Structure 1
Amino acid sequence: MNTWMRNPKLLRWRNGVLLVLTLSTFIIIYNMKIPTTLRWIERLRDVPDSCPSSISEQSITPLGNTKHFLVSAYMDQRVKGFDIRIIGIFKRDSIEPLYCSFCCEGVFNKTTPATILINRAHFGFPFGATYVLCKIPESCDASHVTVLTQPFTKNVSDPIWLPIRNKQSDKLKERKLNFTVCISTLFGNYNNVLQVAQSLEMYRLLGVNRVVIYNTSCGPELERLLQSYSQEGFVEMVPWPIDRFLNPSSGWLFSEHGGDLHYFGQIVTLNECVYRSMERSHYVLLNDIDEIIMPYKHDNLISLMNMLEPQHSNVGEFLIENHVFPKKHFDPSGRFHLPQWEKVPGSNILEHIYREEPDRKTYPPQKMIIQPRLVEQTSVHKVLKNFGQQYYMPPALCHAIHVRTTQRESLKLEDLHEDKRLWHFQEKLIPNVDKVLKRAGLIN
C-alpha cells in the first residue's frame, strides 16, 4: 500500500487539491467559451436549425415583402468582388437594400450585402431584368442562396432558397456542347408547327446540339411537337408563367403597348439562357423561333466558326444581319408544296425564296452568335456589357433567314432577291421533318 493510502490526512489533502484544480480549469474554460456560446445560442434563436428548408422549383419566384421576383442563381466570379449572380425581375422604382444569405454545407451562414443592377434594356416598362450580385462568405461551400430585405433576425422564417448553378461540380457532369440556341418567349398560344419543325431540323443539320425554349403558352399541336423534342433531349423546355405574376406586354415599347414588362420578359429569358448555357456551350445563338442563322459559305455552323475563331478568339459577340423573307410571296414552281404537310398548322419555309434587302440607312435588326463566357448582359439585338470584342458578320458569309410578315409593304416582288439557300438542305430536311411530325402524331 502506497504512502497516500496509509496516511488519511495526506489523502484528503490530495483530493482537495485535485478538486480545486478541476474547478479552476472548468471556470477558465467556461469564461473563455461564454462569447462563443452566446453567439451560438443567438444563432439558433434567430434562424432555422438547418438549410435549405424550402427550395424553389419554379422558374419565377416572388421575393417576400417586395414587388420583385427571382428567376435563377449562378456562380459567376468574372466581376471582381462578387461570386454569385441572381437573375430577377424587379420593379424599377421600388429598389431597396437587399442581402444574400447562403447555405454552406447544410448550415446557415452570415448575410452579405447585395449589389443590384438593372438591365438598361427595359424600354420604359415598370419592371425590368435585374441582377443581384453577392459575395460568398469565406470558408463557405455554398449550395443555395436566398435574398432577404434585412440581415437574418428572429423574424425571418423559412426563406425560399435558389440552387446555385454553374459550380465547378456542375461543369464536370455535362458534356460541353458546340452550339445552343436560345428562344424567347412563346406566348399567345403560338402554333406555327410546320415552321418550328423545319427550323429545329434545320438547326440540327447546321450542328446545333440543344435548343432552349421559354414557354408561356403555345397551341396544342405545337405543344405535342415540343414535348416530343423534349423527351428526345434536343429541346429544353423552360416553363415561363410570367402572366401569373405580371401583366406582360406583347409589344416592345411601354409608351405604345403598355403593360408591366417588355415582350413577356424577353430580356430576362435571353439573359437567363446565356447564364444557363455559360459553362456547357461554346457558342450560343440568340434569335426568335421563326429565324434561322444560316451560313452561306459553309455547310454548317461548326465549319463557319472554326474558320473565324483563330482570327477572332476574343470576340464575344458576332452580329448577324436579319433578312426577311415575306410570307406573301411563294416559289412559283410549287415543288415544295408537299401533300403530307397541307394539314399541319404553320408556314412552309421552303416555299418562300424571295428576300428583302435590309434598310441599312436605319438601324438594321440583328441577331447574335455569342461566346457566353465573354458576355455579362445582353439585349435582343446587341450585347450591353461584355468582356470581349464585337464582330459584324459579312452578310455574304452568314445572315438570318426570317420567314415572316413583311414590315415594308412598299416593296414589290421585283425589289426582292431570289434566295434558295434552304433548298441546299432539302434532301435531308424533308425526311427529317416528316419523321418528327409522325413521331408527334401530327401526320400519318
Structure 2
Amino acid sequence: TVPEGKLHPSAVLLIFTVPALIIIYNMKISTTLRFIEKLFDVPASCPSSISDQSITPLENTQHFLVSAYMDQRMKDFDIRIIGIFKRDSIHPLFCSFCCEGVFNKTTPDHFGFPFSATYVLCKIPESCDASHVTVLTQPFTKNVSNPIWLPIRNKKSHDQKERKLNFTVCISTLFGNYNNVLQVAQSLEMYRLLGVDRVVIYKTSCGPDLERLLQSYSQEGFVEMVSWPIDKYLNTSTGWLFSVHGGDLHYFGQITTLNECMYRSMERSRYVLMNDIDEIIMPYKHDDLVSMMKLLVMISPKPELLSHLLTIEFLVENHVFQKKYFDPSGRFHLPQWEKVPGTNILEHIYREEPDRKTSPPQKMIIQPMLVEQISVHKVLKNFGQRYFMPPALCHLIHVRETQRKSLTLKDLHEDRRLWHFQEKLIPNVDKVLKRAGLIN
C-alpha cells in the first residue's frame, strides 16, 4: 500500500540502466540510449516523492511527464511513459524503477508546434516487481536530488479484478469558459442510452454551470474527471495548426490526452470512442452500440484471415447539424430548459452532406488492446486493420456552427434520429439537471 503518497518503507530502490526509447509524434526521430551495465550507488529505500498530478515537469529539462503504463505487447519494452517534450531539446534519458520487495541478486502528430506528445519506452530489469518509475537526465546516484516518481498503471492483479466495461468515451480537452450545459447533458444521457459505461473528460477549465453538472456526474461515477492544467506550463493553442493559431502545443495537448485516455482505458474497456464534447457517435441501424459492434467485429477487409481480431479501428464520418436552423414545429422547445445555458440538440435536425472530395474529418471507435498510438482522427500504429463505417450504418451527430457558409436550408437533409430516443432522453436530462441544481 502507499498511504498518504508515501512508498512503503520496506520497498527497495533498484536502479538499472536500461534502454529508453523516445518516440515523438510526427517526427522521424527515435533515440535509443546506450546500455550501461553498472549498478550505481543508490539509497536503501525509495524516495517518497510520488506525483499525484496529471502533468509533472521533468527536472532540468523543458519536458513534462504525464503517466506511466505497463505495456508488454512489445518485445523490447515493458513500460510506456506518456509525456510532452520540446522537440528541439532532446536529452539522453535514464529510466529508474522502484522495485517492491528485497532481492538477493540484481542484474542490469505535432502539427508544427514546438512541443509534442511523446512516448518514453523503458525495459523493466529482471527480478524487479516495479511499482513506480521515473525518468532522469543522468544515472541515479546519491548526488541526484529526489526525483518525482510516477505510479505504474495497468499492472494486472490477481487479487483485484475490475469488471471490464464495454464502452468508454474519451473527451479532450475542455478549456476556456465552455458552458454548453444543455448540450453536454443531452450528449452524456444519449451515450448512456446507447450503452456507454464511462466517460473520461480532461478538463483545463469550464464555465460555472458546466462545472456543477460535471461534478454531479463525477460523484455518480458515470464521468471520470481528469484535471489537465496544461495552461499553467505552456502557451497552449486553441487551434490545430501552428502556422495559423500559434502557441507551444496543439489544441491544449489534445493528442497527449487522447493517448493517455486510451492507455487509461486499455485494461478496463473493450472499446473506446474518441470524439469531442459536442459530438455523438450515433448508430442508425441499431438501437445501441452493443448491437452495432456485435455486427462490426465480424467485418474484416480480409475475411479469410483471423476475422474479428483484425478490425480494431472503426472510422466514423463527421456530419454537421447546423445550429442556425431550427425544427419549425418547436415541439422540443421545452420550458424547463429555457434558462439552462447551451444548445438544445433536439431542435436541430438539418444535416449537411459531407464534402467527400476534401476528406471530411472522422472520429473513431477502437479496440485499445490492439492499438499502440493514435492521433485525433486516426490510429497511427496498431496491430490490425481499419474499417470505414458506412454513413447509413453510423455517423457523427455534430451540432455546431457550420464552416460551409454557402450552404442554404435547401442544401441540407432532415435527420430526426435523436427523436427516436426522446421518450427516455428528456426525463433523463431533466433528472441530471435537477440533481445538479440547474433546474427546479
What TM-score results when the alignment is normalised by the length of structure 1?
A: 0.86
Q: Which of 253-262 and 309-318 deviates more? A: 309-318
After superposition, give the CA deviation of every residue in 1:263-296 in whole Å (9 maximum; x if it has no partner): 0000000000000000100000000000000000
Question: Is 1:334 paired with 2:330?
Answer: yes
* Greater share of residues in helix: 1
User: 2: CA distance between counterparts of 1:173 and 1:160?
Assistant: 29
In structure 1, give the amino acid aligned to 2:342. G
Alignment partners' CA distance in 1, 2:214 and 2:353: 32
Q: 1:308 aligns with which of 282, 296, 300?
A: 296
SS in 2 for 1:168: coil
Q: Deviations over 1:183-230 (max 9, x none)?
A: 000001210000000000000000000000000000000000000000
Counterpart of 1:421 (choices 417, 420, 423) is: 417
Please name the residue that 1:27 is paired with. Answer: none
User: What SS does the corresponding residue of 1:266 show, helix, strand or coil?
Assistant: helix
Q: Counterpart of 1:410?
A: 406
Q: Does 1:78 align with 2:73?
A: yes
* Structure 2 contact 40–140 (Cα < 8 Å) conserved: no
Give 1:65's aligned amino acid.
Answer: N
The whole-number CA distance in structure 1 between the counterparts of 2:229 and 2:157 is 30
Q: Which one has the largest radius of gyration? A: 1
Which residue of the partner structure matches residue 371 of structure 1? Answer: 367
User: Counterparts in 2 of 1:195-210, with a 5 A limit?
Assistant: 195-210=183-198
Q: Which residue of 1 aligns with 2:237?
A: 249
Give yes or no for contact 2:169–2:274 (8 Å, CA) kept in 1. yes
Tell me the amino acid that sits aligned with residue 42 of structure 2: V
State whether structure 2 residue 180 is matched by structure 1 residue 192.
Answer: yes
Q: 2:272 matched to 1:284?
A: yes
Question: Which amino acid is the alignment partner of residue 236 of structure 2?
Answer: P
- Structure 1 runs (4+) deviating above 6 angstroms are 107-112
1:42-61 aligned at under 5 Å gives the runs 46-61=41-56
C-alpha change, 1:345 and 1:96, in structure 2 (3 Å) is same
Is the 1:50–1:107 contact (alpha carbons within 8 Å) kept by the matching residues of 2?
no
Work out whether residues 100 and 111 of structure 1, in 8 Å CA contact, stay in contact via their aligned partners in 2.
no
Equivalent residue of 2:386, what SS? Answer: strand
What is residue 58 of structure 2 aligned with on the other side?
63
Match of 1:91 among 86, 108, 133: 86
Shift of 1:110: 8.1
Q: What percentage of residue pairs aligned between the two structures are identical?
A: 85
Question: What residue in structure 2 maps to residue 347 of structure 1?
Answer: 343
Over aligned residue pairs, what C-alpha RMSD do you find? 1.7
Q: Which residue of 2 aligns with 1:225?
A: 213
Q: Is the 8 A contact 2:62 2:86 kept in 1?
A: yes
Q: Deviations over 1:25-77 (max 9, x none)?
A: xxxxxxxxxxxxxxxxxx99943331141100000000011100000000001
How far off is 1:157 after superposition? 2.4
Give the direction of change, closer, same or farther, for the CA distance of 1:271–1:45 in structure 2 (3 Å limit).
Answer: closer
Instruction: Return the alpha-carbon distance in structure 2 between the equivalents of residues 189 and 338 of structure 1.
Output: 25
Structure 2 length as normaliser, TM-score? 0.87
Residue from 293, 298, 317 that aligns with 2:281: 293
Give the match's secondary structure for 1:169: coil
Consecutive unaligned residues of structure 2, counting only runs of 5 or more, are 1-37, 301-307
Distance in 2 separating the partners of 1:48 and 1:434: 58
Offset of 1:170 from its aligned partner?
Answer: 8.0
Counting matched residue pairs gives: 394
Distance 1:311 1:140, change over 3 A: same
Which whole-Å CA distance do the structure 1 matches of 2:102 and 2:402 have between them? 57
**AA matched with 1:275:** Y
